[in-house]
Amino acid sequence: MQLTRIPGLLFGGDYNPEQWPEEVWAQDAKLMAEAGVNIATVAVFSWSRLEPRPGAYDFGWLDRVLDLLHEHGIAADLATATATPPPWLIREHPHVRPVDANGTLLDFGSRQGYCPSSPVFRAATARLARVMAQRYGQHPALAMWHISNEYADHTLECFCDESARHFRTWLADRYASIDGLDAAWGTSCWGQHYTAFDQVNPPRKAPGPINPTQLLDWRRFCSDALLECFEVERAILREVTPDVPVTTNFMSILPGLDYWKWAAAEDLVSDDAYPDPADPTSHVGAALSYDLMRSLKDRPWLLLEQAPSAVSWRAVNVPKPAGMMRLHSLQALAHGADGVMFFQWRQAVYGPEKFHSALLPHAGVRSRGWQDTLRLGKDLEKLAEIAGTRTAADVALVLDWDSWWGLAAPESMPSARLDLKDLLAAWYAPLHARGIAVDLVSPDHDLTGRRLVIAPNLYLCTAEQAARLAAFDGHLIVGPFSGVVDTADHVHPGGAPGPLRELLGVSVDEFRPIPDGATETVRHADASTSTVRRWTEWLAVDDASVLARYRGGDLDGQAAITRRGRVTYLGCLLDDVSPVLSDVLTRAGVHPVADVPPGVEACRRDGADAHYLFLLNHGTTAASVTLREPGRDLLTGRDLRDRVEIGPRDAVVLRIAQEGEK
């Protein structure tokens, strides 16, 4: 299935013509066509230009932009333009603006300055979305709708009175009665017993630690409140233009929004990714995000934004070294993207992003950046046939936003050093280094068919989720501090691992986080040792074999890692999970898509009559890879067999025909 009606891979970027005099537009369109750009994201921040006064619209300029793009064969990812409410709306309704946890009403002068719960804001976005859909729904350039922009980037939460009212409604829906809320929030603690919903507030700045269930419900509410904003606009677009796909751009793997829930409301998943060029391992984190994006709907997705070179929002904005822009673009495709787009097309000359790189830099067509743009356009044409092809993964990593949010109450946790993204990355990085395909799953997903499922952490685990894991017939690894609380953040009877106790065959007697800088040692059955930082547990082994024990310290001789049948439990955070991972991968019969040396990433996509092997050398020296099967490198047209040399920051994309195919 194609992402949009555009055949092949998508290539383009954010285009902000309103920042330029009209004479520049013709040159933009000509250069876009020359580079092979086939889609531009338009009107993301254009509300104040499209509706300069309430209900008075100025669409002439956008009409001309869309016509011009269409004349040059370029489609539009057309934004509903609702990402920044215009000054007149703020002037008329000052409380459209968000309020922070300290009660400060934030001022205009940036972007995304809205309260997600504001009925005035929502109604104004609905009006604009309808007018946009009616005006451009039949425009031949329209390929997809882009609602708002990066929800939760600057405004994840608002603590105003309107948000408080909305939060109470959300809570009343969830708990039906104030007694239900009191029970769930455990308000008998610290004298917080409520007798009416109107006594309940968002978790504003308070004298001490805030009720953790209040915080958890607030995180759920904030994700839902923004999703409602999205749905207000989506419903209108679906009504007026039912055949045009709708997206909003996600921000890779971040705690703010429950992307499982969000993705279900979208037609296609799109993502913005900004791996730091100064970090030689940033491509690993990007790969994890990309695998999440593919997994959200289990189908191809779109890299909607990345930087051609430097960004403008880090303390030091390092440009991408030669070859990295191309390599990172190919990486997104390797992980299932059907297009690569950028922020932005033409480099700005004013505003906060004037030093942010662009496909067409300040230095114009003489720049090295422009040569990179041209080259990438040609490469994407050569790879057109991979559009729509899929990825199969035997291994799945469990990611649950409830657990992520539950862990993020640092004032009431045994340790503030547990972040779910770090815990996922600790397993993902060695899988990635081995060339093993990985999907992400929610603990509520069907796990059938996986060989190995890894739950790095399930702090919050329900009886249903535990039953699903127990029914899974593949290999399972569960990380520490799992099965601790229920959906209300109440500790399960008997303590951890709660509903996982029988499955794991262990009980946690005591959590033993490690102070910063200290370590513990774990000794495996083969006498090798691993270092542990951050976390250990005193385990009571009920019905499991012990794979590793602590050596030295208070836990000397105690079980650290256990196994019951196909289920391995780690009561500690190993510095390097490789000893456990290698063993379980072998038992589970999981194989890499290729045997790759360090620094080379291997991914596979499957088509109807061929599969595609991406070999990406992220290193700064050449690498040699042994090929299991011969194939044709789509990037160079070379036929390759046995072995291939890949230059630094270079890649091959092998087309390997199915038996009997050419």
Residues catalogued as catalytic: 150, 305
Start-end of H helices in 415-536: 420-433, 463-471, 501-504
Q: Name which position in 150, 338, 520, 650 contacts ligand GLA (CB under 6 A).
A: 150
Q: Which is nearer to ligand GLA, 133 or 307 (CB)?
A: 307
Considering the complex, state which of residue 343 and residue 569 has its C-beta at the smaller distance from ligand GLA: 343
Span near ligand GLA by CB under 6 A; candidates 1-9, 91-99, 305-313, 382-390:
305-313
Cα angle value 454/456/462 (rounded, 5°): 90
146 forms part of the interface with ligand GLA (CB under 6 A): no
DSSP three-state, residue 563: strand
- Rounded CA-CA distance 164/286 in Å is 36
The burial of 475, by beta-carbon neighbours within 10 Å (0-12 exposed, 13-18 middle, 19 or more buried), is given as buried
By CB under 6 A, tell whether 271 contacts ligand GLA: no
- Strand bridging mode 270-272 / 249-250: parallel
Could you tell me the two tokens for 418? 């547990």
Q: Nearest CA to 313 among 251, 357, 345? A: 357
149 binds ligand GLA (CB under 6 A): yes
- The residue (of 251 and 477) whose beta carbon lies closer to ligand GLA is 251
Q: Are 125 and 82 in contact (CB under 8 A)?
A: yes
Q: What angle do CA 57, 4, 63 make, to 5 degrees?
A: 25
Distance, in Å, from the CA atom of 303 to the CA atom of 293, rounded to the nearest integer, reads 9
Q: How far is the CB of 42 from ligand GLA (least distance, A)?
A: 12
Give bridge partners of residue 11 from the DSSP assignment: 340
Is 305 one of the binding residues for ligand GLA (CB under 6 A)? Answer: yes
State the residue for tokens 């880090």: 314
Q: Does 219 bind ligand GLA (CB under 6 A)?
A: no
Q: Which is nearer to ligand GLA, 150 or 537 (CB)?
A: 150
Q: The tokens 């830099």 sit on which residue?
A: 361
Parallel, antiparallel or unpaired: strands 506-513 and 535-541: antiparallel
Q: How far is the CB of 50 from ligand GLA (least distance, A)?
A: 17
Number of H helices, E strands in the chain: 17, 27
By C-beta, is 324 or 573 nearer to ligand GLA?
A: 324
Q: What is the DSSP letter of 491?
A: B
What is the SS3 assignment for 562? Answer: strand
CB of 153 to ligand GLA, least distance (A): 7
**356 belongs to the binding site for ligand GLA (CB under 6 A):** yes
Q: Which is nearer to ligand GLA, 203 or 256 (CB)?
A: 256
What is the enclosing helix (H) or strand (E) of 604?
Answer: strand 600-606
Nearer to ligand GLA, 291 or 305 (CB): 305
Query: Which listed range, 163-171, 304-312, 371-379, 468-476, lies at the site for ligand GLA (CB under 6 A)?
Result: 304-312
210 lines the binding site for ligand GLA (CB under 6 A) = no
Residue 541 near residue 559, CB atoms below 8 Å: yes
Instruction: Locate 500 and state its tokens.
Output: 């996982």
Q: Does 151 engage in binding with ligand GLA (CB under 6 A)? A: no
Q: Is 537 in the site for ligand GLA (CB under 6 A)?
A: no
**Is 511 among the residues that bind ligand GLA (CB under 6 A)?**
no
Structure tokens at 436: 């093993």
d(CA 280, CA 4): 34
Q: Is 272 in the site for ligand GLA (CB under 6 A)?
A: yes
Nearer to ligand GLA, 227 or 311 (CB): 311
Taking the C-alpha atoms of residue 201 and residue 179, their distance in angstroms, rounded to an integer, is: 16
Give ∠ CA 492-494-496 in degrees, rounded to 5. 60
Verify binding: residue 16, ligand GLA, rule CB under 6 A.
Answer: no
| Residue 306 binds ligand GLA, judged by CB under 6 A | no
Shortest Cβ distance from residue 81 to ligand GLA (Å)? 13
Closest distance between ligand GLA and the C-beta of residue 303, in Å? 11
Task: Tell me: does residue 311 bind ligand GLA (CB under 6 A).
Answer: yes
Under the binding rule (CB under 6 A), the answer on residue 346 touching ligand GLA is: no
> What's the closest the beta carbon of residue 96 comes to ligand GLA, in angstroms?
20
Size of the site for ligand GLA (CB under 6 A): 10
From 157-165, 303-311, 440-448, 603-611, span contacting ligand GLA (CB under 6 A) = 303-311
DSSP lists the bridge partners of residue 377 as: none
State in angstroms the smallest separation of the CB of 470 from ligand GLA. 41
- Smallest distance, ligand GLA to C-beta of residue 233, A: 17
Q: Which residues bind ligand GLA (CB under 6 A)?
A: 149-150, 272, 274, 305, 307, 311, 343, 353, 356
